[in-house]
Structure 1
Amino acid sequence: MITRALALLAVGCLFSSAAAAFNGYVEVTNDTGYDIHYLYVSPAHAGDWQEDVLDEDILPDGHTVRVTVRKAKGSVYDIRAEDEDGDTYTLWDVDIAKRDVTFTLDDID
């Protein structure tokens, strides 16, 4: 009886943690030498980019912005920046629960 109760408890915990939404953030640092005018943070393999998280702001070279994610299905994201010249920098499959992002010229597409 106790073994069955423990097994049911373990299964319940498995499903409740899988259904839990991810809440967190990623800090994005611009070390490209150029101002970033657009920044997109989309769930990995979403098929399209979410809205620009900078809105009408820019991310100057040498600065950092914190992007908050709420009620997401997971913590793995694709992140794209676009600088003042229209050059793009893309990082794929970033687990934002484990690391922040710094864009450099090495990341240019």
Structure 2
Amino acid sequence: MIKTTLKAVVAAAVLVGSAAAAAPPAATPMVQSKDSYDRHVTIKNRTGWTMLRFYASDSRSDDWEEDILGSDVLENGQDVRINIDDGSGACIYDFKAEFTNGQELTRSRINVCEVSEYTYTR
């Protein structure tokens, strides 16, 4: 469930982000979860490398969900807004990003109900 929804949102956001120089992105309607927490998080890449893959999984899980970026990438300096709401009611997620230099950065226990931006740096 989270895989398909997040992949579609990320694909649209990356496309909008790459066209940002040509025209400002259109406003997207806010979709609120059942418990009224906003689980949208803007992922910012400030590492100096291109982010090839991004994963967000409920911290209670031992497995990573599918790569949210899919066939897209997040270039250094780009941002992408992702709805992390998987319908489970969870707020605490682990993030993992993989970069062109071979580095993997894993961040644990991110509260997506309270954090609206997350920046990857070196």
Give ranges in structure 1 of 5+ residues lacking alignment: 1-18
Q: What count of residue pairs does the alignment treat as equivalent?
A: 87
- With normalisation by structure 1, the TM-score equals 0.72
For residues 41-98 of structure 1, give each alpha carbon's deviation from its aligned partner in whole angstroms, at most 9, with x where no partner exists. Answer: 1101310110000000000001111111331331110001000122111110000111
Partners of 1:52 and 1:25 in 2: how far apart?
A: 17
Show the counterpart of 1:101: 118
Tell me the percent identity: 28
**82, 107, 117: which is aligned to 1:67?**
82
Partner residue, 1:4: none
In structure 2, distance between residues paired with 1:68 and 1:27: 9
Letter in 1 for 2:70: D
Superposition deviation, residue 101 in structure 1: 0.8
**Which structure shows the bigger proportion of residues in helix conformation?**
1
1:39 aligns with 2:54: yes
CA-based RMSD: 1.8
**Preserved contact between residue 21 and residue 74 of structure 1 (Cα < 8 Å):** no
Q: After the TM superposition, which of the residue ranges 19-28 and 72-81 deviates more from structure 2?
A: 19-28
Decide which structure has greater strand share.
1
Deviant stretches of 4+, over 3 Å = 19-23
